Amino acid sequence: MDALTDKQLLMKIIDIFTDTYWNPLRDFLTKYPEYLRTFPAFILNPEHIVVYMTKDFLAIEYFGNEGLKKNITPDTIGVTFFNYSSNPQTDLLEEITGIDNSSITSKVILNIPLYSEDMVVPTNEAFDILIDLGWNFMAENAFFTINRPIFHFEKNNYTRIINGRFYDVKENSLKTRHIKWLDVIPINVLDKGDELDISLDLEFYHKIIEIDASYMYPLPPKEDYKLNKLPQLNRFIEFISDKNNNEPQITNFLNMPENRFILTMGFFGKYIYCQKSCQWQSEDKKNIIPDFFIEKPNGYSDIIEFKLPHLKSQSIVGRENRETFSAEIHSYISQTRVYNNYFHDPNNREWVLNTHGIRVHNPKRILVIGRRWHFSNEEWREIQADFQNLEIMTYDDLIDGVTAQFYM
């Protein structure tokens, strides 16, 4: 008995959704173009979609802009497939959000609502940090969970999450996972004798075509500051999606005065310093020039290094139980290790303070690289834990952290 390959499975899934949902929705909008003004365009013209599959569920997550830029028929769509169906213990919500159930203090287990819009789900530690940051929960038109339970998707039922924000704490830093639009569908695996096949019941999509076509995505409250910043954040998303833009161009974009809020909000910093040359005081070595220093509220700075959002190779390599980062990512980690060595010398720290006014001691090295669909939460977070004072985050993690604050 031969199982379908992941590529074959993915093609079947895409074909099913195209015939059952995307094409009928596109036909409806073509017939009633008045809905295009407010239609959440990323459903039919996404930047990327991610398909998750377990033994019980199939989930599709959409990435992209809310507003229609060109038309409802994209030239190409990027698709990533995470197939967890061989492991019956896989928790789909854990894999999607990256929040391990072991970090949740409550042991109450509940099904996530079958339909949720503007759902805010912090762990208890994250809730405390949000309070410390002065976020006004009572002012938000959102559904908050307090003393968060362990959530699961309800078996045999369709679930939709729109604008869901999940918060956790890692190494004393707030981490945000923003789910713009996620559909979770029950799935059955069929044994047909000569191959394994999947069975999906998507009949309910026929009933919600008009509802989805007329849906208005929940954007943040219309305040001047947010209105000015949201378009700039969209420009950043578009900028990193262009493969013609290199690392220096990304750094220059973020250093523009109108874009610096992406770093200060994304890393909860007071001030940023861009590409400050740092001379070695006790050794004859080439100057180091980190992309950014981000000054935190305690007056000390961490180091942020930006690499390309488009990986040249797989992020994880190696056999099962021997996984490691690819040579590409290891090379980037090695570069940041030089920064750590530099600031281990008190003479270097004093020179940077006197020359640039930047106070640094045991800095966290933050490497921003790739997109969320380049990494499987199941593996790379465990590998990252082997590196001291190092945090690897995707561009989507950064964007989520900024976006979430616009809703607060």
Query: Tens digits of per-residue pLDDT, 2-35?
Result: 456 888 888 888 998 999 999 999 999 999 999 9
Q: Please check the confidence at residue 139 and state whether its pLDDT lies above 60.
A: no
Among residues 387, 400, 309, 402, the alpha carbon closest in space to that of 96 is found at 400
CA proximity to 365, closest of 399, 397, 341, 401? 341
Q: How far apart are CA 226 and CA 209, in angstroms?
A: 31
Residue 180 has pLDDT above 90, yes or no: yes
User: Above 90 in pLDDT, residue 252?
Assistant: yes
Task: Find all residues with CB under 8 Å of 344, minimum gap 6, and list them.
Answer: none
Q: What pLDDT sits at residue 287?
A: 94
**Arithmetic mean of pLDDT over the chain:** 84
Distance, in Å, from the CA atom of 23 to the CA atom of 139, rounded to the nearest integer, reads 39
Cα separation values, 402 from 192, 267, 269, 374, 383, Å? 47, 9, 12, 21, 26
Question: Per-residue pLDDT for 153 more than 90?
Answer: yes
When mean pLDDT is compared over 86-90, 166-170, 190-194, 288-292, the highest value belongs to 288-292
* Cβ partners under 8 Å of residue 95, min gap 6: 52, 82, 84, 376, 377, 378
- The tens digit of pLDDT for each residue in 341-386 reads 999 999 999 999 999 999 999 899 998 988 888 776 566 666 666 6
- How far apart (Å, rounded) are the C-alpha atoms in residues 199 and 204? 15
Output the six-digit token pair for 332: 């980037």
Q: How far is the C-alpha of 308 from the C-alpha of 355, rounded, in Å?
A: 30
pLDDT score, position 291 = 95
CA distance between the termini of the chain? 53
Mean pLDDT of 236-264: 89
Pairing of strands 188-191, 195-199: antiparallel
Closest CA to 20 of 188, 199, 205, 183: 205
Residue 233's pLDDT band, with cuts at 50, 70 and 90, is: confident
The H or E element spanning position 228 is helix 224-241
Give the pLDDT score at 271: 92
Range picked from 40-44, 199-203, 312-316 for highest mean pLDDT: 40-44
Question: What is residue 223's predicted lDDT score, i.e. its pLDDT?
Answer: 63
pLDDT above 90 for 324: no
Report the pLDDT value the prediction gives residue 101, as an integer from 0 to 100. Answer: 85
| pLDDT for residue 170 | 78
Who's near 26: CB < 8 A, 6+ residues apart? 44, 72, 73
Is the pLDDT reported for residue 197 higher than 80? Answer: no
